[in-house]
Amino acid sequence: MDVRPRVILITDEGEVTNRQLEALAAVRDKGSMKKAAAVLGISTPVLYKYVKEAEAKCDERLVSSDSKGTRLTQAGKTLLRRLEALRLRVVERKVLHIAGTLVSELCLLSAASALTQRGVDCRVTISTDDENLRLVDEERVDCVIVDDPLAAMERADRFEGVEIGPDMLLLREAGKDFVALAFGAQRLGFRYLEENGREFTISRRIFEPALLDRTDLSYFVNRSLVKRGIVAAKEAREQDWSVHSIVALPCSEHPDVSGFVAHARRAGIYPKG
């Protein structure tokens, strides 16, 4: 079955049809109602009708005419830019799309480099687990490496995870106020505190790991980030209870997913040597 996605723009006044959008695009490209109509193979009055219908749907003036011709207003340009951006999102490419976070960045980029050398076209996303898993749910990624073991467990019914390597948490204790890093097994750490009756408050959330070395608050951080020199974490101590797996979740039938996972496992979470 040949199924293809199509973007539909809907306002409070109804759908802006594909024909109406084509009329606006033709006006933008030709700078003239007459020339735009000729390109579309319709009369100028029909083109004018499409433009007016689009304006009514958007409750905005989308075109402007003067002695020099007809052009889109800023609202018209914005509408078409948004349409084109949305269309790009739904274009299905054969590229291998892989995603991970700062924790898995080393093995992710190493594996992507190895596959690229073999001629595989790769697209790489480095973000947070939450954002990467949203890509999974939208079926926009072929494989994601997840820091959060709880997130991997929550999707165990949908995806068969593959361990890339082990990691653990370090804890810097400086009172009940914590700063939470956007990467790593943070949920695992805070769940441990809850289960052991420890009072705590998450006062801040940060994305830059080096800021952990400048804070006077408590925090958890993955040992892999310390081993790679991203965080010094001099006052933090390893927590034996926190040993967990960094897991790859293959989530498509792309033929190069297994190769990516194999390369990522060889690269590992920690630097060699």
Tokens for 268, please give them: 């590992």
Asked which of 70, 89, 108 is the last residue of a domain, the reply is 89
Question: Does residue 84 sit in the same domain as residue 13?
Answer: yes
- Cα separation, 97 vs 254, in Å, equals 9
Confirm whether 273 is domain-assigned.
no
Look at the block and give the residue holding tokens 């804890």: 171
> How many domains does the chain divide into?
3
User: Minimal CA–CA distance to 213: which of 181, 241, 240?
Assistant: 181
Q: Is the whole model's pTM more than 0.85, yes or no? A: no
pLDDT one-digit tens code per residue, 130-175: 999 999 998 889 999 999 999 989 988 888 999 999 999 999 999 9
Asked which of 44, 61, 89 is the last residue of a domain, the reply is 89
Asked which of 59, 89, 119 is the last residue of a domain, the reply is 89
User: How large is the average pLDDT for residues 229-233?
Assistant: 95
- Cα separation, 35 vs 32, in Å, equals 5
Output the pLDDT for position 90: 66
Confirm whether 272 is domain-assigned.
no
Output the pLDDT for position 167: 96
110: domain CATH number is 3.40.190.10
Q: Which residues pair with 100 in a beta bridge?
A: 126
15: domain CATH number is 1.10.10.10
User: Minimal CA–CA distance to 146: which of 162, 129, 159?
Assistant: 129
- Cα separation, 101 vs 129, in Å, equals 7
Question: Does residue 123 sit in the same domain as residue 179?
Answer: no
Structural domain harbouring 254: 96-164+245-267
Question: Does residue 48 sit in the same domain as residue 174?
Answer: no
